[in-house]
A and B are shown apart, each in its own frame.
Chain A
């Protein structure tokens, strides 16, 4: 077996680290790692035993003529026999809908939680981060398109069942399992089972997601999460239609629902030059967050780098990000960050009352965390988040 992760039994630490570091994303090294491309195998994808990854989907409806309607995301694909949904990882076989990616891990990594980014959730810890192939949208800027826009059989993967995921997380000193990289919506069944296994072993779960889900599946799947990071890709439907191939409204609904569910939630907004970088959009976004989620939800404006189908646009200028932050600050949001800009002071957490720095971040590492008893040590103002294990 030439897999880097010895997932069947004993952990091969050397192999795992080799796997984790092969990408160039050495832990604690590199402020902004080079973008990764999980290069396709020139000799052809490995043969995988599909049966071990295949479970009946949880969210779908059977229709006539062996068709099914997927109820996982708002797309509601109607899928004929022998066909797959838009995500490419769910297949109708004779009128029964199956997920093909349960325990089918195509990427695994030990990451700082700050890299998700979650800034108010266990800073300074690492998360056992994993993904399967597939995604329910098709963002033109996707940095992980080689796995998110591929079918599972096109991507090398290992069988890592939920209990093994929890074991590995524990073994590598990770207090959390992170479902990330591609789009966890499409591997909800696996995510739910892994979260249960993790909780049984004392490991929490966090998800990095586009939030493009139906309400019922959101409640069921992300109800098992301890923290959620949602990529709010724009504040206009046209951008969602043209750049994301999705819809804005269901994502906003997801954010409100997560808030009602009392899930710790942070929002990332990738600022793409000329496409979603106008003042009105920033202001509309900030006002919506203030009205619907409150002032304490962290908002990260992150820098775009040319990727995938948007290689013709430049890197987001830092002043644009600073303008976005200034607008959100002026609307009263308490925790507005700038991401993907190494060394920028807006990576740190400041007390909204006394304005003293509380968490200092260097790269993806929280180098200093002064928060005590969930409060500012200088003025005792409560700082929302989960600050300590």
Chain B
């Protein structure tokens, strides 16, 4: 980088990437258009808003729900949509202590709010946020009163979304699905601590509510990449924040008000997880965990996910991440007094099996 001398250079005229004008006519069409898997459409829920939606305020104890279904894929390799929906329902009902899934969703999102599902598609088809899971979330959101057009499934790059099996959709009425490359990043920097970045306009202009849908996996720098690290896909310069095991960058990034104020829930896809060689997909190090990990506390969720990865590493005879010199110290940073994004204290985390 240069000092402030040779600063002027030609600037190309602004060009726009026209977004497709394709429109989705209905919820049913949306499911066909946005996702490759078969979709289950249910009657829209008529449940009213039972309680005011609350921001993800941290309770004294954080709850992390692990929902598993050994038969999630039946006898095949593809996740069964019906079973996924059922698994998601169990997870949400357990997290929110509700008898019906729609009640849980209604506690989370108000009709009229715009909801962004931040998926993770770096790992391609092998290790990205599961399509059936995203379908299920979209379905329940709509049944809880969110219009299809108020939902956007997104990641940083449209190509990566497509390579992971998502169908891009930018129609006004259906669920939206596209990458930040279609709308760019905000021109102004936002800063917190060590982080200074431009935020995706999908986050800032298309979402009131953020639901984080990451994948449970190993990361060669951070140790693990689960909930909080997935926010690297929200900024324009993630490459600047990988030194020192991504610490304190991950914690600082999640402190940005634009992220923190929108974040309501993390639904971690652990249907296929990876214990080594991440974040890229390495089939030899991945396993079918057939689980979802759900929490409103991203720190507790990351801590819990980390323990799952460590157990799998031990089972496979691998060293701990600590022994490998890449323990996820960012988790403790996120929990410290300067961040308070959640808790990493196991005595303050209730892990509920669903």
Contacts and interface: CB of A to CB of B under 8 A. Distances in A.
B7 A181 contact: yes
A218 interface: no
A40 B15 CA distance: 9
Given A43-B184, A85-B239, A150-B237, A208 B2 contact: yes
A158 B220 CA distance: 34
A128 B90 CA distance: 64
B54 interface: no
Given A83-B279, A83-B280, A309-B191, A340 B5 contact: yes
B9 interface: yes
Contacts of B242: 77, 83, 86
A141 B184 contact: no
Contacts of A87: 239
A35 interface: yes
A98 interface: no
A188 B84 CA distance: 49
Contact of A80 (B12, B16, B280): B280
A221 B72 CA distance: 55
B52 interface: no
A182 B1 contact: yes
B181 interface: yes
A37 B9 CA distance: 10
Interface string B231-243: 0000011011011
Given A82-B122, A83-B280, A109 B8 contact: yes
Interface stretch (A254-262, A286-294, A300-308, A348-356): A300-308
Chain B interface main SS type: loop
Nearest to A271: B3
Contact of A41 (B1, B184, B191, B239): B184
B236 A33 contact: no
B46 interface: no
B47 to A, nearest CB: 38
Contacts of B1: 135, 137-139, 142, 144-145, 148, 182-183, 210, 231, 244
Contact of B9 (A23, A44, A245, A268): A23
Contacts of B187: 37, 39-40
B11 interface: yes
B17 A40 contact: no
A88 B16 contact: no
Interface string B174-194: 000000011111010101000
Given A149-B237, A151-B239, A22 B9 contact: no
Interface string B6-32: 111111111111110000000000000
A223 B40 CA distance: 64
A1 to B, nearest CB: 11
A61 interface: no
Contacts of B183: 43-44
B245 interface: no
B17 A86 contact: no
A180 B2 contact: yes
A346 B102 CA distance: 73
Contacts of A147: 9
A139 B3 CA distance: 9
Given A144-B2, A270-B4, A131 B181 contact: no
B277 interface: yes
B3 A268 contact: yes
B223 interface: no
Contacts of B184: 40-45, 154
Contact of A305 (B4, B122, B220, B240): B4
Interface stretch (A111-119, A196-204, A369-377): A111-119
B157 to A, nearest CB: 8
A4 B10 contact: yes
Contact of A82 (B3, B14, B279): B279
Given A4-B13, A33-B8, A65-B277, A231 B2 contact: yes
Interface in A3-30: 3-5, 19-25
A108 B5 contact: no
A62 B92 CA distance: 45
Interface string A206-228: 00111000000000000000000
B3 A231 contact: yes
A39 B16 CA distance: 13
B17 A46 contact: yes
A280 interface: no
B6 A107 contact: no
A62 to B, nearest CB: 15
Contacts of B12: 3-4, 19, 38, 106, 156-158
> In this complex, which of B4, B189, B239, B279 has the most chain A Cβ atoms within 10 angstroms of its Cβ?
B4
Given A2-B15, A88-B237, A40 B185 contact: yes
Contacts of A145: 1
Contacts of A111: 6, 8
B198 interface: yes
Contacts of B189: 308-309
A37 B14 CA distance: 12
Contacts of B5: 115-117, 268, 270, 300, 302, 339-340
Contacts of B2: 142-144, 180-183, 208-210, 231, 268
A44 B182 contact: yes
Given A42-B16, A80-B220, A109-B9, A154 B185 contact: yes
Given A111-B6, A141-B4, A270-B4, 6 more contacts: A20-B10, A33-B8, A80-B280, A108-B10, A209-B2, A268-B2
8 contacts: A4-B10, A22-B13, A25-B9, A44-B19, A107-B11, A131-B9, A156-B12, A157-B12
Interface of B: 1-19, 122-123, 157, 181-185, 187, 189, 191, 196, 198, 220-221, 236-237, 239-240, 242-243, 277-280, 282
- Listed from nearest, the 8 A-B pairs whose CB atoms lie closest are A43-B16, A270-B3, A107-B9, A25-B8, A44-B17, A88-B239, A82-B280, A81-B280
